[in-house]
Amino acid sequence: MIFHDIVIVGGGLTGLMAAVEAPPGTDVALISKIYPTRSHSGAAQGGFNAAMAEDDSVENHVFDTVKGSDYLGDQDAIETLCSEGPEVIRKLEQMGVPWSRTPEGRPAQRSLGGASFPRACYSADISGHAVLHTLYERALAAGVRIYPEWHLVELLLEEGRLAGLLVYDLATGRLEVVRCRVALLATGGYGRIFRKTTNGHANTGDGTAIAYRAGAVLSDMEFVQFHPTTLYGTNILISEAARGDGGYLRNAAGERFMARYAPQKMELAPRDVVSRSIFQEIKDGRGLGEGYINLDLTHLGADKIHRLLPQVNELAHLYAAVDSSQTPIPIEPAQHYSMGGIRVNRDCETSIPGLLAAGETANVSVHGANRLGGNSLLETVVFGRRAGRRMLEMVKRPMPPRPRVSLERALSNWQANFGVGAPRQSDDSVFAIREDMGRIMTDKVGVFRTGVELKQAMEELAVLRSRYAALRVPAGEHSFNQQLIDHMELGFMLELSEMTAGAAWRRTESRGAHFRIDYPRRNDPDWLHHTLIRRGDDGRPIYEAGTVAFTRFQPQERGY
Amino acid sequence: MQLRLIIERFDPQTNDAAYRQTFTVDWERHETVLDVLLKARRQDPALAFRRSCRSGICGSCAMQIGNISRLACQTLVRDVTGDGGELEIKPLPGFRQLKDLVVDLEPFFAALKRVLPWVITGPHHDGLISPEVSARIETPATCILCGVCDAAIPQNGPVTSAALVKNVRLAVDPRDALGSERMKSAGLTGEGLQTFRELLANICPKGIKLPPVVQE
Ligand SMILES: Cc1cc2nc3c(=O)[nH]c(=O)nc-3n(C[C@H](O)[C@H](O)[C@H](O)COP(=O)(O)OP(=O)(O)OC[C@H]3O[C@@H](n4cnc5c(N)ncnc54)[C@H](O)[C@@H]3O)c2cc1C
Ligand code: SF4
Ligand code: FES
């Protein structure tokens, strides 16, 4: 048994930002299933929104975010996000972030979709990477105790509050119990439930599923963002910066088709709008090849591309064999961001006392039905910092009881993973089930949804769940037992898939990223509320309505 | 098309020494070495290797591919084998093999930590940095800590290769209180640094070309 005052699970931007908030000498441990610098935050290219410029304002940022969210975002949380943004960016500047600069030497800012002002602070197109490494360095400086390649398996609750964590050390193949006064989940999104996704292999939603199993309330799981421009085939992200810096979308006829769908914002309309427009073009027979669209940067010239979009250029070259200064890049939309997650308040507290959550794993909710580019990186650092601060207040509380009943239960759950030898049904496998899940999610719970298909998806996912229940992995303390990890991750993902499909089926309207062909209009009288999900006694999800916080802006028609 | 992947395997629980195992996998022209490794793992779910981003930005998948240390996700099979045939994959040299292609990274990160790899913000910094200076910082700041340079350019001095890159990144940062003082600890002559710069530009998966740095 290990003991720490504060335990942070997740070494991405959120977890690291929370960790560096603690003053030296605080007992902070950071558990991460991959080395922190490998976290998917590092793949973010575009930038961090903050109203820094004199002619921009926090109020504008708030309004853009509320409108982008299709009025489902909680306006009090959005105000917190936008008003703390500039201060956090300056703090990151002091910590050593290599921002790209204006001629005057200030952090430069660029346009991203849905914004009325160029307000994303960036480092070329490695913005996430640059900040992730800076925060990792600060965590080393602060003496944060890092446990790399340790996997959270289960949360241990005693007397209704968090008392500890059951954790698996991949290198030794052993379980550990970690006791703590307070813990933060900063475990990122669950994009890997979709076959076509920009997300890395580690984004399997562990923390979200584990919190749900422990009784935490989740919310807005039906809202999944599909990014319009991912490389055709591999779905590697081509940053929105490519459009922010002047790229065009063209159909087979070479036409800038966004004129048809968002005449004012054109390519820089929000992602849900652009993704639907692309699919509509393809559906109407104006796509290229077997179903893609061109992202044209050729008019920008090699010089500008190399200066502002080096990574975009490199990715297109390597994975699509295209020189982006000469030839358009073939792209298709793919899953990109999980708006839903663990329901938290502005102090990042979940419904479980002693447990906080922040970043992509949480739903606070600043993104509502659709996230704007540049807002989730900002969310990681603003709410990561808030979580860190809140935990410092909470460590003064008495130590929770030692996990006993909860530990026994967790250990018996753990044992259920194992069987003698290979999987019991030798013709089935984690890989096969996972492939089916990804296909169902992308085909039936994607950009365009219908009640009929969503119902089918729910039934098919239930079948996958029973197939999964028959699988076992070999027992034993193996180091780097990737087989066991694959097995656990699939269990988390199946749970989240069912809730995503279930919440999408239930919501009979279209709002933000959730588009129902059979209910194509937004319906405020019936649906202007969050979807709250908790686990029933029978283990099945129970769906309820939760109120949306309004401060300044009443719902309007959302035109771009 | 078919490819014969020869992978160096080792499981401390059952093996006394590493051995080579051949997997035969189907392969298409746009695929990376990581793609074919993932296929090999479907044949043997116990095959261990690290991966995360699959787009060359997280540094997880460094290994020795056909005798060159590089990133699996950034290496196209056709670039290393031509029309296929055979491909040999081993763990990153110079690192201790823990299991299959997974190596011990603790010494790597410990070596990094020894150079105090963070900006020690000086009192006079006003928050302004010119675009030219920031471009000089950006290049070494693209380092993804993959370990390829430590494997390919072993350093004799106290500072390992990736840590040296971090040193340069910090030495050119006007915010840093130590600044060019940092280069002293590396114990490199100007010539030594120039040689390192050239070697690195050739082997670093991010193609890092170190900026000039003042050396006392
Ligand atoms: C390709 C790409 C580009 C993006 N670009 C932008 C952008 O330009 N602007 C923007 O605002 N947003 C962008 N986003 C979104 C943004 O990057 C993410 O939402 C954000 O980085 C998530 O950060 P996080 O700290 O919440 O999680 P992550 O960075 O995903 O970190 C999750 C951490 O949790 C750990 N973890 C997970 N499960 C476990 C477990 N069971 N046990 C222990 N540890 C665990 C992992 O090891 C990891 O360290 C992008 C996303 C992608 C995929
Ligand atoms: S300098 Fe290059 S080779 Fe060395 S660790 Fe960094 S990215 Fe890898
Ligand atoms: S998987 Fe991230 S660098 Fe290869």
pLDDT tens, position by position, A34-67:
999 999 999 998 899 999 999 999 999 999 999 9
Assembly ipTM: 0.97
Tell me, using a 6 A CB cutoff, whether residue B208 lines ligand 2. Answer: yes
Residues A304 and A102: their CA atoms lie apart, in Å, by: 15
Q: Indicate whether this model's pTM tops 0.80.
A: yes
Tell me, using a 6 A CB cutoff, whether residue B22 lines ligand 3. Answer: no
CA dihedral of B43, B46, B49, B54, whole degrees rounded to 10: 50
Percent of chain A at pLDDT > 70 equals 99
Instruction: Check CB contact of A43 with chain B, cutoff 8 Å.
Output: yes
Predicted confidence at residue A420, as pLDDT, reads 62
Average pLDDT, chain A: 95
Residue-level length of chain B: 216
Q: Are A513 and A206 in contact (CB under 8 A)?
A: no
Compare all CA atoms of chain B with the CA of A476 and give the residue at the minimum distance: B13
Task: Look at ligand 2, atom 8, and give the residue with the nearest C-alpha.
Answer: B146
Alpha helices in A41-118 (DSSP H): 58-68, 75-95
Cβ of B138 within 8 Å of Cβ of A201? The answer is: no
Cβ of B53 within 8 Å of Cβ of A318? The answer is: no
Residues A252 and A257: their CA atoms lie apart, in Å, by: 10
Instruction: Check CB contact of A259 with chain B, cutoff 8 Å.
Output: no
Report whether pLDDT(B125) > 90: no
Tell me, using a 6 A CB cutoff, whether residue B169 lines ligand 2. Answer: no
CA distance B109 to chain A (A): 10
Report whether pLDDT(B216) > 70: no
Closest-approaching ligand to the CA atom of A271: 1
What average pLDDT score do residues B57-78 get?
Answer: 96
Cβ of A318 within 8 Å of Cβ of B47? The answer is: no
Roughly how many angstroms between the first and final C-alpha of chain A, as a whole number? 55
Q: Which of B25, B55, B143 to mutate to test the interface with A (most CBs of A within 10 A)?
A: B55
Active centre residues of A (catalytic): 271
Predicted confidence at residue A115, as pLDDT, reads 86
Instruction: Check CB contact of A123 with chain B, cutoff 8 Å.
Output: yes
Q: What is the pLDDT of residues A65-94, one digit of tens each?
A: 999 999 999 999 999 999 999 999 999 999
Report whether pLDDT(A421) > 80: no
Cβ of A482 within 8 Å of Cβ of B121? The answer is: no
Which residue, A341, A339, A338, is CA-closest to A217? A341
Tell me, using a 6 A CB cutoff, whether residue B151 lines ligand 2. Answer: no
Closest-approaching ligand to the CA atom of B199: 2
Question: pLDDT tier at A172 (50, 70, 90 boundaries)?
Answer: very high
Task: Look at ligand 2, atom 5, and give the residue with the nearest C-alpha.
Answer: B145
A469, with CB counted inside 10 A (0-12, 13-18, 19+), is exposed
Cβ of B30 within 8 Å of Cβ of A233? The answer is: yes
Question: pLDDT tier at A426 (50, 70, 90 boundaries)?
Answer: low
